[in-house]
Amino acid sequence: MSEAKFQQAAHKLLVIPGPIEFSDEVLYANATPGTAYTSPAFIPIFGDCLRMLRKVLFAEERKDNQPFLVAGSGTLGWDAVGANLIEPGEEALVLATGYFGDSFADCLEAYGAKVTKITAEIGGVPNDEEVIAVLKEKKFKVVTITHVDTSTGVLSPAAHLAELIHTHSPSSLIALDAVCSVASEEIQFDKWGLDVVISATQKGLGAPPGLSVVMVSGKAIKTLEERKSPVGGYYISWKRWLPVMKAYEEGKPSYFATPPVQLIYALHASLTSILSAPLSDRFAAHQAASAYIKDSLTSLGLSFVPLHRSIAANGMTAIKFPPGLKAPDVLPHLAEKGVVVAAGLHKAMAGEYFRIGHMGITAVQRERGDLEKVVGAVKEVLSK
Amino acid sequence: MSEAKFQQAAHKLLVIPGPIEFSDEVLYANATPGTAYTSPAFIPIFGDCLRMLRKVLFAEERKDNQPFLVAGSGTLGWDAVGANLIEPGEEALVLATGYFGDSFADCLEAYGAKVTKITAEIGGVPNDEEVIAVLKEKKFKVVTITHVDTSTGVLSPAAHLAELIHTHSPSSLIALDAVCSVASEEIQFDKWGLDVVISATQKGLGAPPGLSVVMVSGKAIKTLEERKSPVGGYYISWKRWLPVMKAYEEGKPSYFATPPVQLIYALHASLTSILSAPLSDRFAAHQAASAYIKDSLTSLGLSFVPLHRSIAANGMTAIKFPPGLKAPDVLPHLAEKGVVVAAGLHKAMAGEYFRIGHMGITAVQRERGDLEKVVGAVKEVLSK
């Protein structure tokens, strides 16, 4: 064992685009003592989480929607789409707005998809005409949209793109990668006619990482049930999890693989807090936080990766370094001031920008002063 | 949302065969505040966990062994074996001693394996002659052993079976399902010539569920690198995780998918405690705990699912109900006394037995009095 000891250093403000800062209630719930996943205490907690997810995603209207909570990173949701909905050789269309769209495409190919990719220019969103033309060209089993690409901070116009897909390719299933948007951006699962939303706990949902969060439409479940080839995996098979999720929502014990009990308690604490106020207030708070950060940085002469404000995420900001500065000139100095931001990630320009997350309690509990601390630290570091 | 509220009832002693009771240090670590997975504070914690796993599994001799820690349930380890080591149509041999052997076989089939299964009689272990005969019949890419099948409490003679496999099928890769044995039973990864050990955090390793723990030999990695068909998955691809695990052990940041930061802290706390005393003492403590439970229950006139003491696990006990009693006559009354045990799981006899876990602090910190509490409660309930 190395000499590194388990010493918790003074906590630094975590403002990367996930994991985010967690509330004390959430951390307390994550320290719940050992509890059986079949316990009468735990079953309603799991059931509540599934019900609350339907609320957060506005997915209560179509009764055959099915939420899934499975131990894993957000990435596991891509595998779920590939393994359950793609049969080898089927066509998929990926609308990419950064690193995560590219990776989603790689994942679908691992499950045998023939992937067509429309890659937006860096900081931009896919062009409508191009999307329509491609949709008319081929029949796509699945079309994916990255709602907020964490590498660029671009917010795709998901409702608009879903409408285009419904109009020009009504049989396609629409999968929204919402890892970096659930609970920080509005997602209308039913109204937009989405078939899959994939997410994770450590961003807008405000709980520690380690839980894959997925909502699936009845149409997608039916597609799964009608597939001719076997599902492309075991742990990730919705067929195996479906009875378990239904049982938890019905208040009954069930087992396929051990759920991450403590994380479910933590998510329960966070979802309870999220739903204690109208969701519209929550989204407005994220918009206000985003405007504060972007206005403040603009006034420092900084500019952003997204090409327009209208396509910039409300839960994070991707900021270009001023000319002559690179990550090592800025990030370590911010960390010295107790502020942890993230480096760039998009391969084409990783060294040229950095990223600030403003999701969850950092955006909603403005009395914490997180945003002012971030802006103050950036200002001080850049002025040197 | 249901009326169920987040009220933590008085904690009941959790003595199922996982999740187990967690120490205060582990629960505290699981409540670590939001921390970046690239943080200089976190990187050595992750690296330490990997190094400590090599120690716990006696896997320090062969330098090309590779530990993996990935968000997921223990089950995900089966998928890892199937996706990385099996090419469609290849032969696998499963030595099954219960429900979990059967499920491992199902999982391998999902990745295209042609599975031969040797199923021991309930409570027994595979017969040597049969194993040898089957090994001589075909060339198996992978042979799996369930070390402790949590459904029967049977402890397979893993060292002996590995020797048989090395003798009669030297090219086969040996995968040990050790979800219910790591850190409660001795596993000599190098000495026994194992190629994969899969486990999870919530049993002998003493940390909350949600982390898949896998150790892989250099031979298995080489097999992966030489495979002709693509890996059968994305999230579970060792090729994608390999550079990340290597980076963490080298003290450098890396990214493929977000690790469950808090769980890694929790595992670190538990591994640190596990390695603070000689491992031989830990295994002896589990043997003593097991003997205490089994002797005490025998003296109450109870008998066990494993056919002999020599093939009974040291971290759990599967106990037959006395004639005329079923789970509803016993388990709820134990719960009323604050003791949570598990129902039977093996399909052929699920209603006829129950299971007690005695792993981790329950076995090692005897001053807690957990074992006496369990025996006392069973005695009281059965005497009514």
Chain A residues with beta carbon closer than 8 angstroms to that of B75: 234-235, 256-258
Within B173-300, strands assigned E span 173-177, 196-200, 211-216
Cβ–Cβ contact A4 with B under 8 A:
yes
CA-nearest residue to B17 within chain A is A36
Cβ–Cβ contact A240 with B under 8 A:
no
Determine the pLDDT at residue A4.
39
Structure tokens at A215: 């909502």
Cβ–Cβ contact B209 with A under 8 A:
yes
Determine the pLDDT at residue A343.
96
B 122-181 residues with CB < 8 A to A: none
Q: Which of A254, A274, A294 is the last residue of a domain?
A: A274
B73 closest CB neighbour out of A31, A55, A257: A257
B233 closest CB neighbour out of A4, A32, A233: A233
B 267-296 residues with CB < 8 A to A: 268-269, 272, 275
Note whether A35 contacts B22, CB cutoff 8 Å: no
Chain B residues with beta carbon closer than 8 angstroms to that of A8: 32, 41
A34 closest CB neighbour out of B22, B55, B258: B22
Chain B residues with beta carbon closer than 8 angstroms to that of A231: 110
Structure tokens at B216: 């892989």
Note whether A234 contacts B208, CB cutoff 8 Å: no
- Round to whole Å and give the CA distance between A131 and B295: 71
Classify residue B150: in a domain, yes or no: yes
Classify residue B167: in a domain, yes or no: yes
Cβ–Cβ contact B231 with A under 8 A:
yes
Of A247, A302, A305, which is closest to residue A120 (Cα–Cα)?
Answer: A305
Classify residue A4: in a domain, yes or no: no
Give the DSSP H or E segment for B299.
helix B279-299
Q: Is the link from the previous residue into A19 a cis peptide, with omega within 30 of 0?
A: yes
CA-nearest residue to A36 within chain B is B19
Chain B residues with beta carbon closer than 8 angstroms to that of A34: 14, 19-22, 208
Cβ atoms of B151 and B99 closer than 8 Å: yes
CATH number, domain containing residue A142: 3.40.640.10
Chain B residues with beta carbon closer than 8 angstroms to that of A261: 19, 208-209
Structure tokens at A282: 């929550």
Same domain, A264 and A286: no
Chain A residues with beta carbon closer than 8 angstroms to that of B360: none
Cβ–Cβ contact B339 with A under 8 A:
no
Same domain, B270 and B282: no
Chain B residues with beta carbon closer than 8 angstroms to that of A55: 1
Note whether A34 contacts B51, CB cutoff 8 Å: no
B8 closest CB neighbour out of A32, A71, A260: A32
What are the C-alpha distances in Å from B93 to residues B102, B229, B323?
11, 21, 37
Crossing angle for the helix pair A43-56 and A261-274, nearest 10 degrees? Answer: 40
CA-nearest residue to B276 within chain A is A1
Name residues of chain A where pLDDT drops below 50: 1-8
Chain A residues with beta carbon closer than 8 angstroms to that of B27: 31-33
A 308-337 residues with CB < 8 A to B: none
B54 is in an annotated binding site: no
Strand order in the sheet with A91-96: A66-71, A211-216, A196-200, A173-177, A142-146, A91-96, A114-119
Same domain, A135 and A228: yes
A22 closest CB neighbour out of B34, B209, B258: B34
Classify residue A3: in a domain, yes or no: no
Give the DSSP H or E segment for A155.
strand A154-155
Determine the pLDDT at residue A5.
41
Crossing angle for the helix pair A370-383 and A327-336, nearest 10 degrees? Answer: 130
What are the C-alpha distances in Å from B21 to residues A2, B16, B179, B364?
27, 9, 16, 12
Same domain, B105 and B71: yes
User: Smallest CA–CA separation between A350 and chain B, in Å?
Assistant: 14
Same domain, A206 and A283: no
Note whether A14 contacts B34, CB cutoff 8 Å: yes
Of B382, B178, B375, B363, which is closest to residue B286 (Cα–Cα)?
Answer: B363
Question: Using CB atoms within 10 A of its CB, is residue A340 exposed (0-12), middle (13-18) or buried (19+)?
Answer: buried
Q: Which of A235, A251, A274 is the last residue of a domain?
A: A274
Same domain, A31 and A153: yes
Chain B residues with beta carbon closer than 8 angstroms to that of A16: 36
Classify residue B1: in a domain, yes or no: no
Same domain, A301 and A260: no
Same domain, A254 and A322: no
Note whether A34 contacts B20, CB cutoff 8 Å: yes
Of B18, B37, B60, B48, which is closest to residue B272 (Cα–Cα)?
Answer: B48
Q: Which of A239, A274, A309 is the last residue of a domain?
A: A274
Q: How many domains in chain A?
A: 2
Residues near B69 by beta carbon (within 8 Å), at least 6 away in sequence:
B46, B49, B50, B53, B211, B212, B213, B214, B245, B259, B264, B267
User: Smallest CA–CA separation between A31 and chain B, in Å?
Assistant: 5
Determine the pLDDT at residue A3.
37
Chain B residues with beta carbon closer than 8 angstroms to that of A83: 233
Same domain, A153 and A267: yes
Cβ atoms of A135 and A165 closer than 8 Å: yes
Same domain, B245 and B378: no
User: Smallest CA–CA separation between B129 and chain A, in Å?
Assistant: 32
Interface test with B, best of A258, A261, A272, A274 (most B CBs within 10 A): A258
B 26-45 residues with CB < 8 A to A: 27-39, 41, 44-45
- Amino acid identity of residue A183, one-letter, is A
Which residues of A are known binding-site members? 355
Note whether B340 contacts A36, CB cutoff 8 Å: yes
Structure tokens at B350: 């699920």
**Mean pLDDT, 10 residues at a time, chain B of 384 residues:** 46 97 98 96 98 98 98 98 98 97 97 98 97 97 98 98 98 98 98 98 98 98 98 98 98 96 98 98 98 98 97 98 94 96 92 97 98 98 91
Cβ–Cβ contact A365 with B under 8 A:
no
Classify residue A307: in a domain, yes or no: yes
CA-nearest residue to B230 within chain A is A110
CATH number, domain containing residue B303: 3.90.1150.10
Classify residue B61: in a domain, yes or no: yes
Cβ atoms of B34 and A21 closer than 8 Å: yes
Chain A residues with beta carbon closer than 8 angstroms to that of B38: 342
B71 closest CB neighbour out of A44, A73, A233: A73
CA-nearest residue to A253 within chain B is B343
Cβ–Cβ contact A111 with B under 8 A:
yes
A79 closest CB neighbour out of B18, B208, B233: B233
Residues near B202 by beta carbon (within 8 Å), at least 6 away in sequence:
A258, B18, B19, B20, B74, B208, B209, B210
Question: How many beta carbons lie within 10 A of that of residue B64, not counting itself?
Answer: 11
Note whether B11 contacts A33, CB cutoff 8 Å: yes
Note whether A233 contacts B36, CB cutoff 8 Å: no
Same domain, A282 and A223: no
Cβ atoms of A259 and A37 closer than 8 Å: yes
Expressed as residue numbers, the domain containing B351 is 13-20+278-383
Note whether A76 contacts B235, CB cutoff 8 Å: yes
Of B124, B276, B270, which is closest to residue B199 (Cα–Cα)?
Answer: B270
Chain A residues with beta carbon closer than 8 angstroms to that of B17: none
Cβ–Cβ contact B365 with A under 8 A:
no
Cβ–Cβ contact B349 with A under 8 A:
no
Classify residue B3: in a domain, yes or no: no
Residues near A122 by beta carbon (within 8 Å), at least 6 away in sequence:
A98, A152, A305, A346, A348, A349
Same domain, A155 and A229: yes
Beta bridge partner(s), residue A355: A318, A342
- Round to whole Å and give the CA distance between A92 and A106: 11
